[in-house]
Chain A
Amino acid sequence: MRYLGLHLRARRIPAALAAAASGTLVLWTVVAVFSEVPDADISLVTLLVLLLAAVVAPTLGGHDDALDRTSALRWLPRRAAHLLVALVIILALVLVTLLTGARFGPAALVLRDAAGLLGLTALGAVALGTARSWFLPLAWTLPVVMTPFAGASVPLQALTWQTQPHDNRTAAVVATVIAVAGLVAYGVRGSALRDIRSAA
């Protein structure tokens, strides 16, 4: 247990948890105070999940990824577990709101977006390094939230999977593919190594 605790601290988990909880609280308050209906708008649900995925991003690497790599530990199951636990925490944080007067749901949508955006963050970590891992999910999702697409074109539905209705099959497929790709790539390769000095 002691080593798990140390590992979590090395990955800045306590700070991330605090940030995730307070971010959820702030958005929940916005909806609770200003919204006239109990269900949060789909764009706000997506944005909350995006925020939580971005908060997870810095925990995907330690202070010195090169040092991590030299250890004899088997990283694959640890990294995979890291992502899965992050997914569970995001789901828990968001779905708890379903019991309150300002609901961020439905659960299927939260699961799809959380899995997809976490996968995208993990892919970002593999490609760009931990510090830049949030570039990819943000760069994709913010423009999509800004220009929602409600038509029948399958390629455009795939492109805007984050804000499609929860029962849209194309969006579910895209999110699953990204999630699996992110899980596998991050599990196998981990965060890209970058000069710590140049990373921010």
Chain B
Amino acid sequence: MTRVLRVQLLRFGLPGALLILLVGTVALFLDRGLWSGGWMELAMEQRDHLMLLCPLALAIGGWLARREHRATVTELFAGTPRPQHQRVLLTLTAVGLPIALAYPAILAVSAPWIMATAEYLPSAAYGVVAVGVLAVIASAWTGLAVGRLVPSPATAPGLAVAGFVAVLAGPMAFREEWQSVLASPAWAMSPWNEFQTVPAAVSAAQAILALTVIVAAAVVLSARRWQTRSVAAAPIALGLVAAIAVMPHDYDRVTIDPVAQELVCTDDAPRVCVGRAHSGLLTEITPKAREALALLAKLPGAPTSAQEDTDNYLDESDIKPPPDGVVEFRMEVGPDGRLADAGHLVTRMLEGGGTSFANCTEFYEIPVARAAGSWLSGRAPVNDPEEAGVTFDDGTPYTVLPETTALWEKLRALPEAEALAKVAAVRKAGLECTDMTGLLG
């Protein structure tokens, strides 16, 4: 690196880049529950934060341009032999490079949080990050360009607010999801679940658009006359056409990655499987799942293996019942990257004698299923921690605990064989999806 570039990096680019690093890291830390599920979630959540980072980069660019204007060095530089575009390129590098590095640095600082539990790293995640890097460079350079054209003290804050409105409200102006995604790099990036992905074509289209903004800003900055500056419209138009061509027009904001859904299993029996996105949690889940399998074993036709339900419930065609002899469970990842409500996983797996509401929404009776589960575990029913905060329409907290407890008490009072027969009937109803009402009555 040349001495001249080093000085420019230090004096121009570094302070802004450190600010972006700080803001990005704090924002991710405050949101850690949203991305603790894996690398893809982390990459997407950071893109969601572009809502803040892009306006910030714009303001930094505008601020630096204003500073250059205040330094009144134009007179001095005008008499030097080095061509203007080389000087501009130096400034652009000095501002763009540290900011471009700050974006992945935010990831590097945040990564240790889930380093121990996140394993699955799809290549699409790199695309998501690359678009983020290009977006912050594009913002900073656009800020420089606008600040150069309008060197007013209000330019930097104006740019920040305008950029924020553009990122926030811009996508809402479009009806189609694929159009909104092109309008803002932060749109649709709040992760829905750990199996989600962003198709490579979408990232490619967004990257093309960001690149054209980068080129246009560079053109505006190196040009001396308005005629030359207007050339900047050409890459924008070209990039827009290319991006629209590359963008899949049937894009849905929740696109599921089938590889992330694939099951990863233990080698030894009884087999326990989780989706590939959760493979890092398999060792934590296995003993709990086997504990549940052992408790279920007293039922006739008891399941012999357990697997995570990785179906996407937003897409009905994706909802499939588990194979015979397999008990399914759903799991959430907590803000620390480990299994959320770890103490409750066994309870959930025992519900309905190892059946699930998801495969029989019509007839499944939750109090009946939970009472059956409680009888199997021998522990009194409790509220599912996931339901905390859920309320009935009249505002009272949602709970099925009283009914469940009443049914469990009845079961407990019965002789062992009779109770077992009733619980087996509940399991049968859950599997065949027939009415559960009164089975424990």
Contact = CB atoms under 8 A, between A and B. Distances in A.
A16 B150 CA distance: 13
B164 A142 contact: yes
Contacts of B27: 143
A61 B173 CA distance: 38
Contacts of A27: 165
B157 interface: yes
B154 A200 contact: no
Interface of A: 12, 15-16, 19, 23, 26-27, 30, 33-34, 41, 43-44, 47, 50-51, 54-55, 57-58, 130-131, 134, 138, 142-143, 145-146, 197, 199-200
Interface residues of B, number: 24
**Prevailing SS type, chain B contact patch:** helix
Contact of A54 (B67, B158, B168, B172): B158
Contacts of B368: none
Contact of B157 (A34, A57, A130, A199): A57
B55 interface: yes
B234 interface: no
B179 interface: no
What are the nearest 5 A-B pairs in CB distance? Answer: A54-B157, A58-B153, A134-B157, A200-B67, A34-B173
Interface in B263-322: none
B87 interface: no
A143 B52 contact: yes
B51 interface: yes
Nearest to B27: A143
A137 B51 CA distance: 17
A55 B160 contact: no
Contacts of A51: 157-158, 161-162
Given A55-B154, A58-B154, A142 B160 contact: yes
16 contacts: A19-B152, A19-B154, A41-B169, A51-B162, A54-B160, A54-B161, A57-B154, A58-B152, A58-B153, A134-B156, A134-B157, A143-B27, A143-B52, A146-B168, A200-B67, A200-B153
Contacts, number: 72
**Which of B27, B51, B162, B165 has the most A CB atoms < 10 Å from its CB?**
B165
A43 B157 contact: no
Contact of B51 (A19, A34, A50, A146): A146
A50 B160 CA distance: 10
A29 to B, nearest CB: 11
Nearest to B168: A43
A15 B70 CA distance: 17
A102 to B, nearest CB: 13
Contacts of A12: 153
Contact of B165 (A16, A47, A55): A47
B369 interface: no
B168 A131 contact: no
Contacts of A54: 154, 157-158, 160-161
B415 to A, nearest CB: 50
B173 A47 contact: no
A91 B52 CA distance: 27
Given A19-B158, A23-B158, A200 B52 contact: no
Nearest to A34: B173
B66 interface: yes
Contacts of A58: 152-154
Given A27-B165, A142-B55, A15 B152 contact: yes
Contacts of A138: 59, 157, 160-161
B364 interface: no
Given A55-B154, A55-B158, A30 B165 contact: yes
A33 B27 CA distance: 32
Nearest to B49: A146
A30 B52 contact: no
